[in-house]
Chains A and B, each alone.
Chain A
Amino acid sequence: MVGQAALNEDVLQRARGLEAEIARVVIGQPQVIHEVMLALFSGGHVLVEGVPGLGKTLLVRSLAAAVQGAFSRIQFTPDLMPSDISGHIMFDMKSENFRVRKGPVFCNLLLADEINRSPAKTQSALLEAMQEQQVTIEGRTFPLTPPFLVLATQNPIEQEGTYPLPQAQLDRFLLKVFIDYSVESEEQAMVKQVTLGAVGDQLDTSAIRPQLKADEIPQLQAHVAQLQMDEQIINYAVRLVRSARDWNGIEAGPGPRGTISLLRAARVEAFLQQRNFVTPDDIKVAALPVLRHRIRLATDLEIEGYQPDDVLNDLLDNIPAPRQ
Chain B
Amino acid sequence: MDLAKISIKLRPRTPWESIDLGFTMARQWFLPLWLLWLCSALPVMIVLTLLPLPLWLAGLLLWWFKPLYEPPLLYWLSRRLFAERTSVKAVFGSWLRIVLPQLFASLTWRRLIPSRSFVMPVVVLEGLKGKRRISRIGVLGRRAHAAGWLTLVGLHFEVVLELGFIGLIVAVIPQELLWTDWQSYLFDPDPLSEWLHHTSALVAMSLIAPFYVAGGFALYLNRRSQLEAWDLELGLRQLAQRHQRRGLVSVASMLLVSLLVFGLQPKTSQALEINPTASQQLIQEVLAEEAFGRYEERGYWKYRGEDSDQDSGWLEEWLKQMLGGFHGNLAYLGEIVMWLAAGGVLAYLLYWFIHNRTLLQGHGIGQSDKKKVAPSHILGLDLRPESLPANPASEAARLIEQGDHRGGLSLLYRASLSVLVHVYSLQISEGATEGECLDNAQGFVKDDLNDYFTQLTRVWQKLAYGHIQPKYELAVKLCQEWPGHFGVNSAG
Question: Interface of A with B (CB < 8 Å)?
Answer: 228-230, 232-233, 248-249, 275-281, 284, 301, 304, 306, 310-311, 313-314, 316-324
Contact = CB atoms under 8 A, between A and B. Distances in A.
Nearest to B468: A277
B467 A317 contact: no
B433 A277 contact: no
Given A321-B433, A322-B379, A277 B365 contact: no
A317 B366 contact: yes
Contacts of A284: 433, 435-436
B356 interface: yes
A200 B4 CA distance: 99
Contacts of A306: 364-365
8 contacts: A232-B465, A233-B465, A249-B365, A281-B436, A310-B363, A316-B431, A323-B379, A324-B381
Contacts of B367: 314, 317-318
Nearest to B437: A321
B431 A321 contact: yes
A317 B461 CA distance: 20
Contacts of B436: 281, 284
A319 to B, nearest CB: 5
8 residue pairs, one from A and one from B, having the closest CB atoms: A323-B380, A277-B466, A281-B435, A280-B433, A314-B365, A230-B465, A324-B464, A321-B433
B248 to A, nearest CB: 93
B356 A248 contact: yes
A131 B436 CA distance: 35
Contact of A228 (B356, B359, B431, B465): B465
Contacts of B433: 279-281, 284, 321
B388 to A, nearest CB: 16
B381 A310 contact: no
Nearest to A285: B435
B434 A281 contact: yes
A248 B358 contact: yes
A301 B359 CA distance: 9
A86 to B, nearest CB: 43
A292 to B, nearest CB: 14
B379 to A, nearest CB: 5
Interface residues of B, number: 30
B168 interface: no
Given A249-B359, A279-B461, A320 B430 contact: yes
A228 B462 CA distance: 11
B379 A228 contact: no
Interface string B347-381: 00000000110110001111100000000011111
B380 A311 contact: no
B128 to A, nearest CB: 71
A323 B433 CA distance: 10
B410 interface: yes
A316 B430 CA distance: 10
B432 interface: yes
B222 interface: no
B359 A248 contact: yes
B435 A279 contact: yes
Given A284-B433, A306-B365, A320 B466 contact: no
Given A306-B365, A317-B431, A318-B430, 6 more contacts: A228-B467, A279-B434, A317-B366, A321-B432, A323-B379, A323-B380
Contacts of A316: 431
A277 B465 contact: yes
Contacts of A321: 378-380, 431-434
A117 to B, nearest CB: 32
A230 B467 contact: yes
B383 to A, nearest CB: 13
Max count, chain B CB within 10 A of own CB: residue among A228, A248, A317, A324: A324
Contact of B365 (A276, A311, A323): A311
A320 B381 contact: no
Given A279-B435, A280-B434, A322 B355 contact: no
